Structure 1
């Protein structure tokens, strides 16, 4: 029997958080750097109307998500974590990206017990359904919502989530730190 149910977001968590930036800069004729991406809402970072960014995303979403750079350290850690834990990917990506998402994870040798493509940023109900013990996330708002509903959250540090954490949220800076945190939780579980 596996010990923990670990839920993991995809974009910005196991992938480059700024995967969209080069394409968006070309499309909108901008020169934004990752250091300037200080908020989660991309249209505000680019200083373009939300509709214009949505049009860009809808035209390019399949290419963007197929080409996202995977974090190799994340892959290695997940390959270790799945030996003792259930790994569930829970993403806000729209449902039409489910096949692409599964293919992406498989192509990059990312193991999992389930993939949940929600089409919404609200992940609490899915976390409940999965009896989530720990959620790994990059969105500050998602982390807050999960924490306020009783879930432990590891917030992967990015330029766009630099706000004070609260409750059950711990900021992490790399996947080695995530591995160490999960190991400590496992040791505590086994000590009981």
Structure 2
């Protein structure tokens, strides 16, 4: 498509004034462009016309005679112009508001999905930690029993003292290793619980923000 044929500022102003005379209402930039036969850039027409209207209003304000009331036609024109501006401002505000609302909803949905995913992963880790802890508890109990049995056997069988001592030592080392693993698992479990509590707080905060 070719570039719109340019028109002068005065042509734009004259077209707007002609519309106001014929229609008895404020001229709109799109109506001015139609009046000009589709010539001119829409953005430039809007800018030139709005600047003219502003200058006209400022001039009217400076020249206003307090002793004379506005004519009904001028009052109607100014009222219609004000209503049109209010309508356009309201339309722009609602457009911005809807866009912001949609953006907030999208961000909240993404955040909620992320929190739910992380919470599911943490719950899985917590279940695994519980299972591992139970297994280590069982192993620890079994090893303690074995140590006790080894000690009793050592007392009862003095002839096998050296062999049983070595066996008892090995079992004690295994017990120590198992206890170490158990402590580490308990520490990991505490961290997982803490992280899950934080994620739960985030989820509650996100839900509260959505309801607000």
The answer to which structure, 1 or 2, has the higher relative contact order (CA under 8 A, 6+ apart) is: 1
What TM-score, normalized to structure 1? 0.23
Structure number with bigger Rg: 2
Provide the TM-score with structure 2 as the length reference.
0.21
Whose helix proportion is higher, 1 or 2?
2
Which of the two has greater strand per residue?
1
